[in-house]
Amino acid sequence: MEESINRGEFQPNLAKQTSLRLGGSFKSTLSGRSTPRNSPSFRRQNSGRTPRKEGRSGIGGALWFRSNRLLFWLLLITLWAYLGFFVQSRWAHSDKKEEFSGFGTGPRNTGSDAEQVQRRDLLASDHSLSANNETDANIALSSKTINVVLAKRGNDVPSHRKTSSKKRSRRRRASKGKSSGKLKPSTDVKDADIEEQKPEIPTANGTYGLLVGPFGPVEDRILEWSPEKRSGTCNRKGDFARLVWSRRFILVFHELSMTGAPLSMMELATELLSCGATVSAVVLSKKGGLMSELARRRIKVLEDKADLSFKTAMKADLVIAGSAVCASWIDQYIERFPAGASQVVWWIMENRREYFDLSKDALDRVKMLVFLSESQSKQWLKWCEEESIKLRSYPEIIPLSVNDELAFVAGIPSTLNTPSFSTDKMVEKRQLLRESVRKEIGLNDSDMLVISLSSINPGKGQLLLLESVSSVLEQGWLQDDKKMKKVSNIKEGISTLARKHRIRKLLPVLKNGKVVSNDISSNSLSRRKQVLPDDKGTIQKSLKLLIGSVGSKSNKADYVKSLLNFLEQHPNTSKSIFWTPATTRVASLYSAADVYVINSQGLGETFGRVTIEAMAFGLPVLGTEAGGTKEIVEHNVTGLLHPVGHPGNLVLAQNLRFLLKNQLARKQMGVEGRKKVQQMYLKQHMYKKFVEVIVRCMRSK
């Protein structure tokens, strides 16, 4: 009502102002208008002044807001977005994420600092060891203790140290003052999923050995190449590429740990994507450190593990489950969509009875079972017969393969080779990598480095391996360095070992009192040091053992504690022990090693992906005579086998002694193993078998 009155008063005044505009003088009023001085409306007691002021501040302000509210909201949204990006940036790069409420100001960690190599002691006290059987194992190394903690985290990101910027600055200045021949202490371990180690750990030898690696930066510097530089690796002309092109696949991961099954599924997803397929991943447990790697490879992970994943799977051409642990998801999926059973290929990678019992109710419902080795297939078929389970089709066998990245570094032809990165060039770079890593670890040319890379648990047999190594190191056989026999008497000692291992053809033989080669070229002999010195010499060799993977999510805390207790009781053995964190950058470790040991117990290793990787790098393999290992390792040709359990300790120790004394035998076994990998265990071999499986499953549903 008041607004209409004001409008009524405004119109006559406007008419008067118009008629007087040419003759009268003007003066600005408080309302902002120009009114003639002689106008009747120009009076101090003008009743319109106050309403105009109120209208300007009240109604006029409302009108201004209405006409400009779009601009107002745009400004508000822009400010809010800027604040959000600022907060996200500070969160992503801050070292104090737990204290982010104060916007931490700690310096950023660069990728190169995160993976710098440092030699550290593994020191521990029993009171600092605690375990929680329902959660993951992480090893926290400190200056005096090693804590084996099973702590469940809210996310899968390795925790960061809480250190002030001043302390970090002092540490960086101190590291700069060290000799240039040593690498800076690492401040973080990228993608290793281990608890952070404090930088005050002494470099002197401690009770449990030394922590070394990972060597990612060393690989990048020497090889001048990293997995991040990889591009599409698909062979577009192959049957596999033609078969999967434009098709949709669902891959089911049971977890994301850096172990055989998740790594194999990740590489399968990568190959499918590079060949033009559409791939989605269902991850039942995000335990492990592969989530960032999946994101880097652009593998889409479905957030939902139930309804959404089921509906997505129904639209797919094929569902591939990569572990017996996927039984729960398969059961629910088939219960929800019974017709979906004809789309499921179950690639089972375990070989223990508890995994069979977990999955037996769904084995006869899926389209096809796929196993890794003949021994695993026979064992599961035997269990199925005992439980009267009739499968829908006979299982297929698809062994694992050496991925293109490792084959490339090993000098085996792969899809990553280019004119500037030929196989010969990579062999040269691998030798440089070997020398650099061994120097960082502190090894001499005469040292034999034995490595064993896997999660640390009883099934992998690390404690039995330590016992065998200790029997070699502490019996005085190496420390006393018995004087070698004269050349005329050497033949008898060699013959004894040759009869033991049936590899006389691999050993140097005697002719006219001189050491010559039987199956190895004289040029290779001339490049090596003489294995059997004259009567005045002694064996100046030592045995070193590197165990991985510290901090793996699959480690068993109690078992790790038993290893540490053993080393505490055998201090001489601990001086020859190295540990390395869990990491996907293993080419440097294979390059630096001389022998690989796979000491899996029970039914043995299902297949042993690490076995073929070691063979690709020319390493002889010492393995248990069980499971898939005995199918891969040809005794006395590509390696040496020993029994499982404690009876195998003595044989394993004898095999270690034998390879320590005979470099030529090591080399020839490595050459034979490398040939076998090139003939049977490269990527093209695995995907050729996958073609047969996919054709059978898609023929009829």
pLDDT at 307 over 60: yes
Closest-CA residue to 460 (of 207, 587, 629, 594): 629
The pLDDT, as a whole number, for residue 61 is 59
Segment 644-648 shows an average pLDDT of 95
pLDDT computed for residue 235 by the predictor: 85
Distance (Å, whole) CA 467 – CA 565: 12
Q: Are 409 and 587 in contact (CB under 8 A)?
A: yes
Query: Which of 73-82, 278-287, 372-381 is predicted least confidently?
Result: 73-82
pLDDT digits (tens, 9 = 90+) for 26-70: 444 444 444 454 444 444 444 444 444 444 445 555 666 667 777
Q: Kindly give the interhelix angle for 260-274 and 609-616, rounded to the nearest 10 degrees.
A: 70
- Quick check: 254 and 553 in contact, CB under 8 A? no
According to the model, what pLDDT value does residue 417 have?
87
Most confident of 217-226, 243-252, 520-529: 243-252
Burial class (CB in 10 A: 0-12, 13-18, 19+), 127: exposed
Q: Confidence band (pLDDT; 50, 70, 90) for 517? A: very low
H helices present in 360-475, as ranges? 374-386, 404-410, 423-441, 462-474
pLDDT given for residue 66 in this prediction: 66
In the predicted structure, residue 220 carries a pLDDT above the cut 80 = yes
Contacts of 105 by beta carbon, 8 Å cutoff, 6+ apart: 94, 165
Q: In angstroms, how far is CA 202 from the centroid of its own chain?
A: 27
Between the alpha carbon of residue 130 and those of residues 139, 158, 166, 445, 456, the distances in Å are: 11, 19, 32, 40, 16
Task: Give the residue among 190, 166, 181 at the shortest CA–CA distance from 119.
Answer: 181
Please give the average per-residue pLDDT across 170-192, as a whole number.
Answer: 40
| 3-class state of residue 620 by DSSP | coil
Report pLDDT for 553: 81
Q: In the numeric block, which tokens belong to residue 10?
A: 């405004």
Highest mean pLDDT among 499-508, 548-557, 622-631: 622-631
Question: What is the rounded (10 degree) CA torsion for 70, 72, 73, 78?
Answer: 120
Report the pLDDT value the prediction gives residue 91, as an integer from 0 to 100.
53
Name, of 131-145, 194-208, 414-428, 475-489, the range with top average pLDDT. 414-428
Residue 81: its H or E element: helix 60-93
Task: Report the share of the chain in percent with pLDDT over 70.
Answer: 62
Model confidence at 20, pLDDT cuts 50, 70, 90, reads: very low
97, 160 contact by CB (below 8 A):
yes
Q: Residue type at 288?
A: G
Q: How high is the pLDDT of residue 197?
A: 35
> Within a 10 A sphere around the Cβ of 67, how many other Cβ atoms?
9
Q: For residues 137 and 419, what is the distance between their CA atoms, to the nearest angstrom?
A: 44
Say which DSSP state 58 is in: I
Look at the block and give the residue holding tokens 């199956």: 519
pLDDT, position 602: 92
Q: Quote the CA–CA distance of 194 and 257 in Å, as a whole number.
A: 12
- Return the DSSP state at 565: H
Residues 669, 691: Cα–Cα separation, whole Å: 32
Helix, coil or strand: residue 113: helix
**Alpha carbon distance, N-terminus to C-terminus of the chain:** 77
| pLDDT (average), residues 307-323 | 95
Higher pLDDT, 240 or 123: 240
Query: pLDDT above 90 covers what percent of the chain?
Result: 52
Q: Place 233 in a pLDDT band, splitting at 50, 70 and 90.
A: confident
Q: Which two tokens stand for residue 591?
A: 């390059």
- pLDDT value of position 437: 97
Shortest CA distance to 662 belongs to which of 650, 674, 673, 670? Answer: 670
> What pTM was estimated for this model as a whole?
0.67
> Which pair of tokens denotes residue 439?
């120097």
Tokens of 443: 């090894």
* 3-class state of residue 165 by DSSP: helix
Q: What is the DSSP letter of 207?
A: S
What was the pLDDT predicted at 206?
61
- With 70 as the cut, is the pLDDT of residue 510 above it? no
Smallest CA-to-CA distance from 506 within 495, 522, 492, 517 is with 517
Tokens coding 504? 């006389």
In whole angstroms, how far apart are CA 357 and each of 191, 330, 353, 361, 362? 33, 15, 6, 8, 10
Determine the pLDDT at residue 229.
Answer: 66
d(CA 470, CA 589): 22
Which amino acid does the sequence have at 373? Answer: S
Can you give the pLDDT at residue 65? 60
Report helix, strand or coil for 656.
Answer: helix
Total Cβ atoms within 10 A of residue 181: 7
Q: What is the pLDDT of residues 362-398, one digit of tens each?
A: 999 999 999 999 999 999 999 999 999 999 999 999 9
Asked if the model's pLDDT at residue 151 lies above 80, the reply is no
> How large is the average pLDDT for residues 149-177?
40
pLDDT grade, residue 78 (50/70/90)? confident
Higher pLDDT, 474 or 401: 401
Kindly tell me if the per-residue pLDDT of 87 is higher than 70: no
Q: Return the residue matching tokens 């400190």.
A: 142
Rounded to whole angstroms, the Cα distance separating 409 from 413 reads 10
Q: Rounded to whole angstroms, how far apart are CA atoms 469 and 566?
A: 12
| Unique residue bearing structure tokens 């096809």 | 368
> Could you say which DSSP state residue 563 is in?
H
Provide the residue type at 342 as one letter: S
Residue whose entry in the numeric block shows the structure tokens 């990527």: 683
Model confidence at 426, in pLDDT bands (50, 70, 90)? very high
**CATH homologous superfamily, domain 237-400+691-695:** Glycogen Phosphorylase B; (3.40.50.2000)
Q: Quote the pLDDT of residue 258.
A: 85
Spatial separation of the C-alpha atoms in residues 321 and 327, rounded to whole Å: 9
| Whether the predicted pLDDT of 181 surpasses 80 | no
The torsion defined by the Cα of 484, 494, 464 and 375, in degrees rounded to 10, comes to 160
Digit-coded pLDDT (tens) for 549-561 = 898 888 999 999 9
pLDDT for residue 260: 86
Q: For position 398, what pLDDT does the model report? A: 96
Per-residue burial over 19-45, b if 16 or more Cβ lie within 10 Å, else e, is ebeeebeeeeeeeebebbeebebeeee
Distances (CA, A) of 491 to 266, 480, 482: 51, 22, 16
Which CATH number is 406-475+540-681 given? 3.40.50.2000
Note the helical H segments in 94-124: 111-114
Q: What are the start and end residues of each CATH 3.40.50.2000 domain in the chain?
A: 237-400+691-695, 406-475+540-681
Closest to 687 (Cα-Cα) out of 380, 244, 389: 244
Residue 74 confidence (pLDDT):
84
